[in-house]
């Protein structure tokens, strides 16, 4: 068990390079199972969820290596069809392997996925879609046992919710299926287009990603390719939020402002000055923030649910009242009790949080309840008076590469200890 130790009050200045997107690389690594030959994935973040993917791929018979930001997976000799419970429970994205294993081997066996506890996270849409494509899926002793008697076939799938993971699972399975698959009400997140770009580089025929209807014409087996993962928009938001709270001038190198269209105006409302160019996004803040009114999370290009805790932590010391409405997950305010322990005035009723800005936060011993909730604790602690201890750092390390080093480089006082 690790903890972050953060002493607040330092201004942040300088440049931080944003890592590759966790939510892109995880489905890309799962999809690499469909390729014969090597997938060479650049800008791969060094995070624990990637380490779990590495272990899953290796357990399925792939040969993997990861060094200097490049992950190489050769799945030529893959043969496994089962993911053990231990690996399944470590991250939500393990379910994305279902489509890939079924498409390659015609059978799969895995238990329910783990991941952050953000309320109910069913996988019914994944299962229903794969069934429609020809898979027989049964639950036996807590495991999903899946077989495809006559091969996967294309079909039209109307998603009742524009689920990111279900869209990815269907896209991956459909590339190897017979015929055409249409996904209606598909997720539009940039990570979907990144997966589509990777699959196209491997020989897949996919159109319409980034819009609500995605068409996939099955091509059978894919070949390897080289692919560079897009920058992580939530990690970029995290560094911007840290700069906003602490005050200072921070350049987030590599951040793509096009992916931050709903986030940048929030920083501007808070009184920060944001500029962007091809190289990245720069934020300047006096550290004295204003309320941001009402923020409603939504599907892309709406305000990302993953940025909600990170932005909420920033407005705890802003002048005035801000409101957050969580529309994606049923229980994504668990981290708020940690903020109130630091003196924040936040009231939560169901899916709405009302934040009355206080003059300052003070240090406390808190805990990362989940990945982004943990990031929220770090941001609050960076702006607080005194030294805070944030336990269960492993939640944060699932998605942030060298967070302490990067923040230290900007002038923050933060260390990670066992
Ligand atoms: N849903 C269902 N049935 C399903 C699938 C989803 O009802 O079969 C519901 C969920 O319960 C939720 C909504 O649909 O209420 C959206 O869930 P979605 O499937 O889109 O989320 P996900 O694929 O599980 C990904 C990211 C999350 C991010 C969400 C929303 C990855 C690995 N995870 O999760 O990222 O919050 O999309 O954008 O891509 C994070 O990075 O901290 C994180 C939680």
pLDDT digits (tens, 9 = 90+) for 168-185: 999 999 999 999 999 999
The active-site residue, picked from 116, 202, 225, 272, is 116
Which band of pLDDT confidence, cut at 50, 70 and 90, is reported for residue 119?
Answer: low
Q: Is 302 in the pocket of ligand 1 (CB under 6 A)?
A: no
What local confidence, expressed as pLDDT, does residue 235 receive?
Answer: 98
What local confidence, expressed as pLDDT, does residue 227 receive?
Answer: 98
What local confidence, expressed as pLDDT, does residue 120 receive?
Answer: 56
Residue whose CA is at the smallest distance from ligand 1 atom 31:
23
What local confidence, expressed as pLDDT, does residue 5 receive?
Answer: 98
Q: Is 123 in the pocket of ligand 1 (CB under 6 A)?
A: yes
Helix (H, G, I), strand (E, B) or coil at 389: strand
Statement: residue 81 has pLDDT above 70? yes
Which band of pLDDT confidence, cut at 50, 70 and 90, is reported for residue 94?
Answer: confident
Nearest to 4 by CA among 409, 323, 397, 338: 397
Structure tokens at 418: 């066992």
User: Ligand 1 pocket: which of 20, 23, 398 to mutate (most atoms <8 Å of CB)?
Assistant: 23
For residue 359, how many other CB atoms are within 10 A of its CB?
7
In the chain, what's the furthest Cα-to-Cα distance? 65
Statement: residue 117 has pLDDT above 70? no
Active site residue 116: yes
Q: How far is CA 275 from CA 233, 249, 265, in A?
A: 16, 11, 11
From 57-66, 101-110, 111-120, the region with the lowest mean pLDDT: 111-120
Q: Is 26 in the pocket of ligand 1 (CB under 6 A)?
A: yes
Is-above-0.85 flag for pTM?
yes
d(CA 198, CA 6): 38
Q: Which residue has the higher pLDDT, 169 or 140?
A: 169
Residue 163 CA, ligand 1 centroid: distance in Å: 6
Which band of pLDDT confidence, cut at 50, 70 and 90, is reported for residue 346?
Answer: very high
Give per-residue pLDDT as tens, 280-325: 999 999 999 999 999 999 999 999 999 999 999 999 999 999 999 9
Give per-residue pLDDT as tens, 371-404: 999 999 999 999 999 999 999 999 999 999 999 9
Q: How far is CA 132 from CA 149, 251, 412, in A?
A: 13, 47, 52
Average pLDDT over residues 224-245: 98
Average pLDDT over residues 13-26: 98
d(CA 182, CA 197): 17
Q: Is 307 in the pocket of ligand 1 (CB under 6 A)?
A: no
Q: Is 140 exposed, middle or buried (0-12, 13-18, 19+ CB in 10 A)?
A: exposed
Helix (H, G, I), strand (E, B) or coil at 221: coil
């Amino acid at each position: 068990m690790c903890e972050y130790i953060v002493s607040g009050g330092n201004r942040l200045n300088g440049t931080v390079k944003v890592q590759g997107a966790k939510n892109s690389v995880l489905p890309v690594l799962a999809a690499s199972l469909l390729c014969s030959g090597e997938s060479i994935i650049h800008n791969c973040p060094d995070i624990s969820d990637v380490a779990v993917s590495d272990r899953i791929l290796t357990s399925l018979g792939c040969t993997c290596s990861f060094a200097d930001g490049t992950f190489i997976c050769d799945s030529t000799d893959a043969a496994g069809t089962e993911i053990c419970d231990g690996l399944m429970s470590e991250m939500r994205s393990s379910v994305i392997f279902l489509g890939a294993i079924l498409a390659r081997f015609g059978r799969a066996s895995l238990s329910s996925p783990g991941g952050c506890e953000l309320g109910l996270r069913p996988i019914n849409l994944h299962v229903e879609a794969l069934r429609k494509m020809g898979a027989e899926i049964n639950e036996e002793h807590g495991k999903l046992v899946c077989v495809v008697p006559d091969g996967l076939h294309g079909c039209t799938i109307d998603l009742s919710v524009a689920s990111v993971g279900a869209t990815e699972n269907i896209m991956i399975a459909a590339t190897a299926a017979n015929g055409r698959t249409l996904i209606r009400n598909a997720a539009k997140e940039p990570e979907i287009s990144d997966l589509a770009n990777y699959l196209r580089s491997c020989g897949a025929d996919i159109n319409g990603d980034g819009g609500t209807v995605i068409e996939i014409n099955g091509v059978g087996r894919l070949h390897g390719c080289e692919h560079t993962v897009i920058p992580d928009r939530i990690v970029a938001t995290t560094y911007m939020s840290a700069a906003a709270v602490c005050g200072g001038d921070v350049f987030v190198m590599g951040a793509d402002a096009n992916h931050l269209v709903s986030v940048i105006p929030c920083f501007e409302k808070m009184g920060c000055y944001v500029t962007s160019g091809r190289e990245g996004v720069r934020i300047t803040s006096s550290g004295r923030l204003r309320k941001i009114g009402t923020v409603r999370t939504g599907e892309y290009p709406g305000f990302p649910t993953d940025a909600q805790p990170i932005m909420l932590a920033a407005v705890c010391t802003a002048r005035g009242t801000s409101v957050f409405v969580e529309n994606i997950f049923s229980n994504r305010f668990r981290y708020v009790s940690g903020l109130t322990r630091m003196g924040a005035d936040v009231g939560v009723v169901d899916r709405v949080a009302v934040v009355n800005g206080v003059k300052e936060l003070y240090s406390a011993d808190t805990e990362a309840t989940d990945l982004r909730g943990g990031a929220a604790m770090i941001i609050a602690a960076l702006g607080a008076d005194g030294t805070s201890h944030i336990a269960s750092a492993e939640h944060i390390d699932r998605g942030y590469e060298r967070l302490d080093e990067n923040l230290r480089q900007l002038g923050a006082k933060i260390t990670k200890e066992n």
